[in-house]
Structures are given as C-alpha cells and as structure tokens.
C-alpha cells in the first residue's frame, strides 16, 4: 500500500455531467474506508461554483490554476463538447495541471477537453462510443479506440461512457493499493470489479438500433432469451417460415451482420456474464450455448485477445464459493 495522502482533483465546469463527478469520487471516498488516503477536491477553471448538466449546483474548492500539482487529475465530461468546440479558456485551464499531474484521466467526453488541451496528441484514447468518431475526426493525432472501456497510454487514462468512470476509478485504486482493496470497494458499492480496459463498451443486443421489422425482432428476441437453443440458420428461418437466403438478407440489411455472427455475439456476452459470476470456463461454454469450450475460446481470442480463463482471472467479479 502506498504511504501518505494521494491528492485527487476533479476538474469541473458548467454543463459537466454530474455522474462523471460523483461516480469516481464515490470510488475514492469508499477506498478510504478500507485504508486508502485519497484527498479529493473539486476545482473549476476560475474557482467559481459550476452548474451540472442536471442543473445541480456544484460547490468547488478553488481554481485549478491556484493549486499545486496533483497525484491524479480527473477531467469530467459534458455532452456539450462533442457537439461544439471546447472553448479555448476551458482547454487552457486544463493544460498546465494536466501536464504536471502524476497521472491524468478523463471520464467519458472529458477526453474532448484533454484533446483540446493537447494532452492526447499522439496517444491512444477512448470516449463514449457514440462520439468516438467525432473525437477521431476533430483530433486526428489522437489514436481513438472506440470499443474500449478505458485506455491507458503512459500516465494518461481515458474512459468510455459515464459508468465507465467507475471502472477506471477502480482500476486506479487497484494500481495504487492492489486488487484486494479494489475488490472491497467494488463489493461495498455493489458494482462489478472493474471490467477489462479492452472490453467492449456494450453488449451484443445493444450494438446498433433494434430491428425495424417485427419478424426480425422476433428472431433476435428468441436468441437473446435462449442463447442455448438450436439457432442454426435453417432453424431460425423455420420460425418465420422464410428461406435462409431471405433471413440472411434481413440480418444484413437491418443489423449489418449475419445470423450466425449475431448468435455468436449473444452467446459471447452471456459467457462473459457467467464467467463474472464465477462459473468455470467449461460451464460457461455449455450454459451460453457454445458447441464446445474450444469454440468459445476461439471467440474470446478473436474479440478480446485473451482466453476465457485469462479473462476470468483478470476481470471477474468475486467468485462464488466452491463453484463447480
């Protein structure tokens, strides 16, 4: 465990997303109950209080420029700045403290503020998947990874959608104090132990819009409700009394995928959840509907570049007692 207090500054401004502030702050505060010593302050560009995206006024501790270097600087996000350019004064306010902090991190669209301040030049980064393309287009020297929960590049961290700020904060706590304390915090907050940084931001049923046609929605609902079922192309086509070619065309036109790949994604998502719950890899493969453990292993290798067993060792929640 690290000795001495660890100073954490959360950079806020008008329009800031309230959960971007409260989620990580709660993780660090909870960590203090288990032996950590985080000193958390809220700072704004001028030292004036700010108003969040929900209209809630946030009292700050001072101006970011008036404080010494922090061990950790967190830059919260706002839904304003994917839609508009980050104001120069806001970017300037973040630039110097980010340069001198021990580590700097952004929550969700806070990446736009860091990028505008030049902090992400030449670095890998992520943000909410809905605006990742805008971050990449606006700041082409930043290597955006749109489907990651969080990304670390040296001492710079960026995270995805608002709740991913909790994942990132847990990862920072683990970096400072080890996995046991981080797991205690996750248990106390009743959240998952942090998800893999490279893990997909969203589960298969949430990728893209739902099917427009009731017929295809019937098939996707069937697969989602029972991933273990016989979902071969022929069997799925029988449910709608259509040809396999027609069903394949429906999936292509509406979901930009194939029936087989959709089924695979649903099973993959369920397998991850089962591993998180403490099931063995073999159990997860069976319960999720994979034909074999080997077929599940190949999917994990393709999507996450790790095996199911490695995923479980690194990223699962607390294990069930005597599982298996």
- So which residues are the catalytic ones? 108
The 3-class secondary structure across the chain, one letter per residue, is: CCCCCEEEEEECCCCCCHHHHHHHHHHHHHHHHCCCCEEEEEEECCCCCEECCCCCEECCCEEHHHCCCCCEEEECCCCCCCCCCCCHHHHHHHHHHHHHCCEEEECCCHHHHHHHCCCCCCCEECCCCCCHHHHHHHCCCCEECCCCCEEEECCEEEECCCCHHHHHHHHHHHHHHCHHHHHHHHHHHCCCCCCCCCCCCCCHHHCCCCCCCHHHHHHHHHHHHCCCCCCCHHHHHHHHCCCHHHHHHHHHHHHCCCHHHHHHHHHHHHHHHHHHCCCCHHHHHHHHCCCCHHHHHHHHHHHHCCCHHHHHHHHCCCCCCCCC
The sign one gets for the Cα dihedral 58, 60, 65, 67 is: negative
Q: Cα–Cα distance between 319 and 276 in angstroms, integer?
A: 8
Find, among 106, 118, 110, the residue nearest to 82 by Cα: 110
| Upper half-sphere CA count for residue 52 (Cβ side, 13 Å) | 16
Q: Cα–Cα distance between 134 and 119 in angstroms, integer?
A: 17
């Amino acid at each position: 465990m690290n000795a001495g207090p660890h100073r954490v500054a959360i950079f806020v401004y008008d329009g800031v997303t309230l959960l971007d502030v409260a989620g990580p702050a709660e993780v660090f505060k909870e960590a203090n109950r288990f032996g950590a010593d985080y000193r958390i302050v809220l700072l704004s560009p001028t030292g004036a209080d700010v108003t969040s995206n929900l209209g809630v006024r946030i009292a700050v501790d001072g101006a970011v420029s008036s404080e010494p270097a922090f061990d950790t600087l967190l830059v919260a996000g706002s839904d304003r700045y994917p839609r508009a350019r980050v104001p120069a004064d806001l970017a300037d306010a973040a630039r110097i403290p980010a340069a001198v902090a021990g580590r700097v991190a952004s929550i969700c669209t806070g990446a736009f503020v860091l990028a505008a301040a030049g902090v992400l030049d030449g670095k890998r980064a992520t943000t909410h998947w809905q605006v990742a393309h805008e971050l990449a287009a606006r700041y082409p020297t930043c290597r955006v990874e749109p489907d990651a929960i969080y990304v670390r590049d040296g001492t710079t961290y960026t995270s995805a959608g608002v709740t991913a700020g909790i994942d990132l904060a847990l990862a920072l706590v683990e970096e400072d104090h080890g996995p046991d304390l981080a797991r205690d915090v996750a248990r106390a907050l009743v959240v998952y132990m942090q998800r893999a940084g490279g893990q997909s931001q969203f589960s298969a049923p949430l990728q893209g819009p739902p099917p427009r046609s009731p017929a295809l929605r019937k098939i996707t609902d069937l697969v989602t409700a029972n991933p273990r079922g016989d979902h071969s192309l022929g069997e799925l086509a029988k449910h709608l009394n259509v040809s396999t070619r027609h069903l394949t065309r429906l999936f292509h036109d509406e979901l930009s995928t194939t029936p087989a790949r959709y089924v695979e994604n649903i099973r993959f998502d369920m397998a991850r959840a089962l591993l998180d719950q403490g099931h063995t890899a073999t159990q997860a493969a069976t319960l999720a509907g994979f034909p074999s453990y080997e077929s599940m292993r190949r999917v994990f290798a393709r999507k996450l570049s790790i095996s199911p067993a490695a995923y479980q060792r690194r990223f699962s929640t607390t294990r069930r007692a005597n599982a298996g």
